[in-house]
Amino acid sequence: MTMREDVFARAPDRRAALPLLAVAAWAAALLGTVPDVAAAPLRNGEHIAKHGKLCQLAASKAERRYRIPSQLLSAMSLAESGRYSRSHQATFPWPWTVRSGATSHHLPNRAAAVALVKRLQAKGVRNIDIGCMQINLGYHPRAFSNLSLAFNPADNVDYAARFLTKLHKKKRSWALAVGHYHSGLRQKRVPYWRRVVKFWNAERRRAASERRGRIIAEYEERRRQRLALQAERRTRLLLQGMRPPRR
């Protein structure tokens, strides 16, 4: 699987854009408005991180729903559709990944991914892996009612989770279930399991770090509120002490 950061469009020449930016700023100042920064396109690394988290969120929900070990589905999504972001120095699962044979495509959006799959199917290609969890349309032809649904991260991950739990029930081992999710051949499933384990360890460390961060942030917020309340009480007592005595 190709782990690279695609560039969809060439950045415009900043020198050529300076006069236009100056005019826009002057017009905004006259009108009393500010350009909508949120509407600006995301940088490529931010684009990868933002949409990659759709797969991770869906995986987290499916793990709880189907009692799958924490972070295991997330690790599998990284092994299946991982896309590397140089700016974040990290890999994110990509919801609009299409793989056929040895070639992986990280498409910019769902519509582009659906269009590519339709072109491949029109050529008679059946061995196509799609989405966060790279569901194979040849082995799972009735997994989704339509391609748009297949590329929805929640539906793609949910199907993978149900398939994985069926394998676990049959194999009585998460290692074997994960391996057979990829292939029935030992020479393929063992290296795949090892690859997933590397991502799994990293995901568990990341989750533990985020959990510690949340606990610390919650503690600091409670401490801030407590100190503010104490300061308010001291001020109130001080003001009461400054009032003139009643006659």
Predicted confidence (pLDDT) per residue in 7-55, tens digit: 333 333 434 443 444 444 434 433 333 333 233 333 566 778 788 789 9
Taking the complete model, does pTM exceed 0.75, yes or no? no
Domain presence at residue 243: no
Token pair 């009032």 is found at: 243
Question: What is the predicted pLDDT for the residue at 185?
Answer: 92
Look up residue 92 and give its two tokens.
């994110």
Residue 88 — very low, low, confident or very high, per pLDDT cuts 50/70/90?
Answer: confident
Main-chain dihedrals φ then ψ at residue 7, nearest 5 degrees: -115, 115
Question: What is the predicted pLDDT for the residue at 211?
Answer: 77
Q: Are 117 and 137 in contact, with CB atoms under 8 Å apart?
A: yes
Q: Find the domain containing 116 and state its range.
A: 14-217
Domain presence at residue 212: yes
Domain presence at residue 237: no
Main-chain dihedrals φ then ψ at residue 86, nearest 5 degrees: -65, -40
Long-range Cβ contacts of 120-125 (<8 Å, 24+ apart): 125/100
Domain presence at residue 48: yes
Domain presence at residue 69: yes
> What percentage of the chain carries pLDDT values higher than 70?
79
Sheet holding 135-136, edge to edge: 103-106, 97-100, 128-130, 135-136
* Count of domains for the chain: 1
Domain presence at residue 151: yes
Domain presence at residue 40: yes
Domain presence at residue 232: no
